[in-house]
A and B are shown apart, each in its own frame.
Chain A
Amino acid sequence: MRECANILVASRSGSGDGEVPDDTAEVLAAAEALVSRVGGKVGIATPDGATQAECAARLADLCRAGSYDLVLVPHTLWGADVAPRTAGILGWPCATACSDLDAEEEGWTFKRRLHGGALVGTVRTGPAPCVISLETSQPTRTDSGDSLLTAARVVAGGRGVGGPGGFGKLAVLAEALGAALASSRPPCDAGWVPSALQVGITGAQVKPELYVAVGISGSVQHLAGMHRAKCIVAVNTDPDAAIFRYAHLGVVGEWTEVVAGMLDRLPDESAEAQC
């Protein structure tokens, strides 16, 4: 068993007063749990206001000076950049989007999703130092002012919604349900909606009470961002669409019709928003 861990936890700074953001607090807790078992120390660095390049250079300096042998970063867009960037400077291996970090033999073990989330791998490192970004229970993207990540209800559209106009109609449903609007990747790629709305392995990972997937086929990559929702509802014309294997509730049908029916039964604000 590994006998000592000198861990440097890195994050962007929180709201001030030395507070760290919630995602970093989770990474810090994981680091402290490891050190309480195998011994060693935990340092924290919040390279403030700097570019990602400056952050990584500073972290690399800290590693050399403080003889750290494990750098932990929360797996946000920021962390997904800074972790391998720091590893690149140090010439260390790097693993991203990891969970279940533990000590084993001379190194560490952790889990990570492969093939878009269709498979989960267990990975073991050797004795060499490394940089790891950890998934946390916090939403993975924090685009400013966006309610998607904390929303209790989400209405998401896919390629099947057909265009920006379709998303306009979907926004009415979202409003009626008190839900945030989201998207699979193709509508973002096509510019129908901003990239900030993308849910999935390369977008936001959300955990709402209700997730309504409209015109979304149910690829593993999309699923990776929403399968933890309490109630998944699918609306799709194709009865064989994969989404029906992951949803709790489904309607097979033309989405504009189904959504019109839903709006028939939803509170009046929606009717006002509609016209």
Chain B
Amino acid sequence: MLRIAVCAKQVLDPEAPAELLRVGEGLTVTASGTPEVLSPYDANALKAAADLRGEGETPNADVTLLTVGPRPAKPLLLKALASGADRVLALRTADEVGRLVDGLTTARRLAALVGEMGDCDLVLTGRQAADTNAGVVGPLLAGILGIDLVTVAVGIRAAGLGTVEVDRLTEGGIETIECGLPAVVTVSSEIGDPGPVDFPALAAAKRKPIRILEAAELDLRDSEADLGPVLVDLVKPKLERTCEIVGGEDARAAGRALVARIAELSG
């Protein structure tokens, strides 16, 4: 059976209105009333894992959700378990102000969690996190684990023994490749998202194991983190402008008037 790890990060809901974002002391980012969610591309990775796993009595894969961060949130973990994960393995870290940009430390921690799993054939994660927009953790993790890497997958299928077939987005369009396992695959939104969960799935999720490790329990050399990039300033760029609303008797007339205004403005 395929052993899959899905690496997922908890972030402020990126679909919430951007004007709610505030930069506070120590460059921490808050957004009042905005819930945390699993970073959407990581949720896409979970969906890919759930599809490989399949439902029913004899699943084709076993899925462990790995997460690293200061506040692993039970409701989000339960939702992940209801969406196809078999268990959660979380690492609770100290709050890391200013470290928002250091993917290498995160990758090292995830590598330690993968080690904790014992066997792992396939590591899935999002193509980039919604807060850092970096896309470095998956590739760095592959490097640390010394295994193959495929980025920006838009489709993943189990192929022969020890391989998966991956459709990936490239500059030339979508290409399909066979990828030997073990491997890290980063996932894009075209794969789809897990969607809402129902009550039976949530009830079943409550019986699945959630294990939360403290940093001290893993053999991590945190001093190396000091070498990484640090955020020293964070500002809100001004992108807003005043929009001229073009009207008319009805929408069609407004469309006609719009063409004239475009011609005047942009030539």
Contacts and interface: CB of A to CB of B under 8 A. Distances in A.
Are A and B genuine complex partners?
yes
A121 B188 contact: no
Nearest to A95: B229
A121 B23 CA distance: 11
Nearest to A84: B139
Contacts of A112: 101, 133-134
Nearest to B11: A115
Contacts of A159: none
Contact of B266 (A80, A124, A230): A230
Question: How extensive is the interface on chain A, given as a class?
Answer: 35 or more
A134 interface: no
B176 interface: no
Interface in B157-193: 169-174, 188-190, 192
Interface stretch (A42-50, A62-70, A163-171, A219-227): A219-227
Nearest to A218: B18
Interface stretch (B73-81, B124-132, B202-210): B124-132
A195 B169 contact: yes
Contact of A119 (B21, B241, B245): B21
Contacts of B132: 114
B198 interface: no
B264 to A, nearest CB: 10
B216 interface: no
A67 B84 CA distance: 46
A260 B243 contact: no
A77 interface: yes
A147 interface: no
B17 interface: yes
A80 to B, nearest CB: 6
A4 B15 CA distance: 43
Task: State the 10 A-B residue pairs at the shortest beta-carbon distance, nearest first.
Answer: A88-B143, A261-B255, A253-B251, A84-B139, A257-B251, A261-B252, A122-B233, A118-B18, A258-B255, A128-B227
Interface of B: 12, 14-15, 17-18, 21, 23, 27, 29, 100-104, 107, 127-128, 130-136, 138-144, 148-149, 151-152, 154, 169-174, 188-190, 192, 226-237, 239-241, 243-248, 250-262, 265-267
13 contacts: A91-B143, A92-B104, A117-B237, A124-B232, A126-B227, A144-B171, A185-B189, A209-B266, A233-B258, A247-B241, A257-B252, A262-B256, A264-B255
Given A84-B138, A188-B190, 19 more contacts: A52-B151, A53-B148, A83-B136, A84-B136, A85-B151, A87-B139, A91-B104, A96-B134, A115-B130, A121-B100, A121-B234, A128-B227, A130-B229, A194-B173, A234-B243, A246-B241, A249-B244, A249-B261, A250-B244
